[in-house]
Structure 1
Amino acid sequence: MNKMIKIFYTLASRICCCLLIAGSAIAQTDTTQHVINSRKNSKDHLGKPYVILISADGFRHDYAERYQATHLLRLSMAGVRAASMVPSFPSVTFPNHYSIVTGMYPSHHGLVNNSFLDEKSMERYSMGAKNKVREGKWYGGTPLWVLAEQHQMISASMFWVGSEAEIKGLRPSRYYDYTEKISVEKRIAVIKEWLSLPEEKRPHLITFYLSEPDHAGHSFGPDAPQTRQAVKLVDSVIYELSEAIKPLGLPINYIFVSDHGMTAVDRERPIARPTEIDTAKFIIASSGTMMDIHAKNKADVAGLYALLKASEQGYKTYLKSEMPAHLHYGSSDDRMNRIGDILLVSDWPRVFSNRKPGIGHHGFDPQVVKDMHASFMAWGPAFNSGVNIASFENVNVYPLVAKILGLSYSEKIDGHIEVLAPILKK
């Protein structure tokens, strides 16, 4: 195994250990593979192509060229490369990973932020609360692995937002709970094992998540040598994966994406929580690049809005009903009533924080801050070769994967197959 892969695993493990020490519940020690042995591919799917959907968290749209990810650049030259992939708002991890696999904006599928309040139940969801992450009630839409299993097509997940939960009564046939305790070498070996299974048990859809270069970008900033190294390490992982699988001779299509980009923020002028917000009357569900405020009594909304609007500095104040339409984050979009009554959206490069913030952040409006844009590359027998395309929204990946795998769907989504159909061979 490539030495850089081992470095990648060591770096990720150290970071996760630090998170655990800090009280985070993100990293888990359960390394068990969950398998539903009773399932098998229907005869209609035998001989169909395969898709490995890979996400490198925080892999900004320009990282591959900027930091010379030579393997990814070479592989995508034989396939398709987008100028960028535009994340949904807010441009943070959980909402966007789930938008990629549902074809829906966050306000439509329900994961409206990494942490949020559900007003109907008055329960909070948080990406660090594993008991919440594994509850299917939080997840709307039909993720790609559920769509596949509904069609009696085997799917497998080496981590993805939502894959640990039972959604519409289904999980992937094979999956792992998220953990950094499994080495990258082992992860690649597992994916190869999945694709070496007898045809009736072999997954046609595999999701594969990598936590870098997001950790490096947050800790050191997008311009740091540590982030360059993290990009190089991801590049090596993709190379090792493709080389490990190549001898199997299967018609495998690789789709490499990220959830968002990364930008350096103003660390010297953080925006403190406005003193006008009375926490006895209001709940702040999330902060960072956007402060999400829920009123315990809706009669108090207008008064606080007027105070915040009059004193805003470094941020813009919106009622949920007046959020810019291009964000798809207003009252008419909030299908599960999980978006706050008042939203304070910080002006780049400033963020909300009561102490000196970290160097790198994401979450800003991607139409305003280009650094938020993500990556998209694809190669394999389904794709045209040597194609460069314009930027597009990430909700369009869902119909693309469904098309490659021959999966139909009736649920209304926000993505459109017409956007990416031209990159497929006829």
Structure 2
Amino acid sequence: MKKNHYTFPFLLIIILFIVNNTVQAQTDTSEHVISGRHNATNQLKKPYVILVSADGFRYDYASRYHADNLLKLSADGVLAESMIPSFPSVTFPNHYTIATGMYPSHHGLVNNTFLDERTGERYSMSAKSKVRDGKWYGGVPLWVLAEEQNMISASMFWVGSEAAIKGIRPSYYYDYTEQISVDKRIEIIKNWLSLSEEKRPHLITFYLSEPDHAGHTYGPDAPQTEAAVKMVDSVINQLTKAIEPLGLPVNYIFVSDHGMTAVDRDHPIATPKAIDTAKYVIASSGTLMDIHSKNKQDTRPLYEILKSQEGTDYKAYLKTEMPAHFHYNATDDRLNRIGDILLIPEWPKVFSNRKPGIGHHGFDPLQVKDMHATFMAWGPAFKKHLKIPSFENVNVYPLITEILGLSYQHEIDGKIEVLKPILKDTRESKQRISDK
């Protein structure tokens, strides 16, 4: 048979084409604009909210690492002792909880990676096709609520903002990429707020991936993490300085999704040998092992074995018996995405079949305070020089809807009563002025 000398070069070209397209998909820096939208007349004079999240910015990082700009801005506004993330205290569930006011078990993003038993499909935060598919997202995120009421929104990254949820995306948004410099991101936000009233977004979400990366790699006590905190502090200073000359009533809410803790790297918990992968699917591990039974009759026998072995390494729960404070049991699991058996490691241990990394999150925030996140707020809507106790992150959603004057009829877990006291009472202020 005659040898085909063109086969290898042709295959190489195909491979390079695929790799190039994959890289381009991961580094797409173009702005997505939904044409034909504008602010309704009744939205034009509303205030503005920039919701900023610094991933993994633990509740004590600002004071511990002298984030002077954030401390100064929050001292002129509102500072919480901490913000309590929802369980599990990981990135995707909690960013989407902040955006929807719902616990993860209610909005459907029950972990960074999970199994949907109804379809047999897996969701993963690293799978772009899943991240951008609106079918995975329940609830009504803030940008969808705003757009439904003809208020323009924009997103410089946020979990869910790349997907068409209820068929709606923000009017302006970017697919997540680290290829856009921080200076450019700030310039984009300033440009959005420099648009005409009809096109100007009143809600902007802005996500920063640090200090989470540093915390995972070096641990929360490392100088690299301190440097990442100071970088975030500098970014917030740049952002506020860039927006200030516009003279707009901009309110800033600075949050994080979770904290960070150092774990026991020398004594990881190996995957229990009793878990037969022919019978069970492990959807996630690390700080929460989520086990689905292929045949539900096999759930109880495995649970009893794991329960007898739990000791000081982990606690074993049936989904039907998860303690109420987790909001993560069979009753809460509205989309059937939580495993039948849940193994929760005892801090500071984690599940791993090799030596784990230094920094982790995902633990029960009511047991491990290192999981607590940050909440700061300042701007014309907020009272000044106010410190408040810790609160759950589901309450950020009704706070923002109150500031922007957005109404909603659907059920959420957050309560406006929790954070309304941090807002200036404009009605009382107007009444005092008229009385004079």
Does the TM-score normalized on the shorter chain lie above 0.5?
Answer: yes
Q: Report the equivalent of 1:127.
A: 125
| Equivalent runs, 1:13-162 vs 2, <5 Å | 28-162=26-160
Q: Distance in 2 between matches of 1:71 and 1:373?
A: 21
In the TM superposition, 1:114-263 aligns within 5 A as 114-263=112-261
Matched, 1:324 2:323: yes
Q: Structure 1's 265 and 402: CA in aligned 2 closer, same or farther, altered over 3 A?
A: same
What is the aligned partner in structure 1 of residue 285 from structure 2? 287
Superposed CA offset, 1:53-106 (max 9, x none) = 000000000000000000000000110000000000000000000000100000
1:334 aligns to 2:321 (yes or no): no
SS of 1:355 mapped into structure 2: coil
Whether 2:375 is the aligned partner of 1:376: answer yes
Once residues 35 and 202 of structure 2 are traced to their aligned partners in structure 1, the CA distance between those partners, rounded to angstroms, is: 16
Shift of 1:324: 0.9
Are the equivalent residues in 2 in contact too, given 1:27–1:178 (CA < 8 A)?
A: no
Q: The residue matched to 1:356 in structure 2 has which SS?
A: coil
Name the structure 2 match of 1:8.
none
Does structure 2 conserve the Cα–Cα contact (< 8 Å) formed by 1:91 and 1:372?
yes
Q: How far has the Cα of 1:229 moved from its partner?
A: 0.3
Shift in Å, 1:28: 1.9
Check the 8 A contact 1:80/1:389 in 2, yes or no.
yes
* Separation in structure 1 between the aligned mates of residue 175 and residue 44 of structure 2, nearest angstrom: 28
Write the distance in 2 (CA, Å) between the matches of 1:359 and 1:324.
Answer: 28
Are 1:25 and 1:129, in contact at CA under 8 Å, matched by a contact in 2? no
The equivalent of 2:418 in structure 1 is 419
CA RMSD, 1 decimal: 1.3
Contact 1:220–1:226 (8 Å) recurs in 2: yes
Q: Distance in 2 between matches of 1:26 and 1:278?
A: 40
TM-score of the superposed pair, with normalisation by structure 1 = 0.94
Other structure's SS at 2:26 match: coil
Residues in 1 aligned to 2:394 and 2:309: alpha-carbon distance in whole angstroms:
36
| Aligned match of 1:366 | 365
Question: Relative to structure 1, is the Cα distance of residues 326 and 280 closer, same or farther in structure 2, using a 3 angstrom cutoff?
Answer: same
Are the equivalent residues in 2 in contact too, given 1:192–1:245 (CA < 8 A)?
yes
Inter-CA distance 143–25: structure 2 relative to 1 (3 Å threshold): farther
Report the CA distance between 1:37 and its aligned residue: 2.2
Deviations 1:378-425 (A, max 9, x none): 000000000000000000000000000000000100000000000000
Query: Which amino acid in 2 is paired with 1:84?
Result: S
Q: Distance in 1 between matches of 2:352 and 2:382?
A: 44
Partner of 1:405: 404
Q: Distance in 2 between matches of 1:27 and 1:134?
A: 12
Letter aligned with residue 85 of structure 1: M
Letter paired with 2:284: S
Residue correspondence of structure 1 range 297-316 to structure 2 within 5 A: 297-313=295-311, 314-316=313-315
Specify the SS of the correspondent of 1:145: helix
Q: Secondary structure at the match of 1:189?
A: helix
TM-score, normalised with respect to structure 2: 0.92
Separation in structure 2 between the aligned mates of residue 291 and residue 48 of structure 1, nearest angstrom: 45
| Separation in 2, partners of 1:332, 1:215 | 34
> How many residues end up aligned between the 2 structures?
404
Aligned to 1:391: 390
Tell whether the 8 Å contact from 1:382 to 1:424 is kept in structure 2 after alignment.
yes
Larger Rg belongs to: 2
- SS of the equivalent of 1:52 reads strand
- The one-letter amino acid of 2:204's match is I
Report the Cα distance in structure 2 between the residues aligned to 1:379 and 1:311, rounded to whole angstroms.
Answer: 49
Deviation of 1:25 after TM superposition, in Å, equals 9.2
In structure 2, the CA distance between the partners of 1:268 and 1:26, relative to structure 1 (3 Å rule), is: farther
Equivalent position amino acid for 1:200 in 2: E
In structure 2, how many angstroms separate the alpha carbons of the residues matched to 1:411 and 1:348? Answer: 37
Q: 2: distance between equivalents of 1:148 and 1:45?
A: 10
Letter in 2 for 1:419: V
**Residue pair 1:281, 1:297 contacting (<8 A) in 2 also:** yes
| TM superposition shift of 1:26 | 13
Q: Aligned partners of 1:264, 1:28: CA distance in 2, in Å? A: 30
Letter of the structure 2 residue corresponding to residue 307 of structure 1: I
Counterpart of 2:6 in structure 1 is none
Give the Cα–Cα distance (whole angstroms) in 2 for the partners of residues 310 and 387 of structure 1: 49
Contact 1:80 1:378 in 2 (8 A): yes
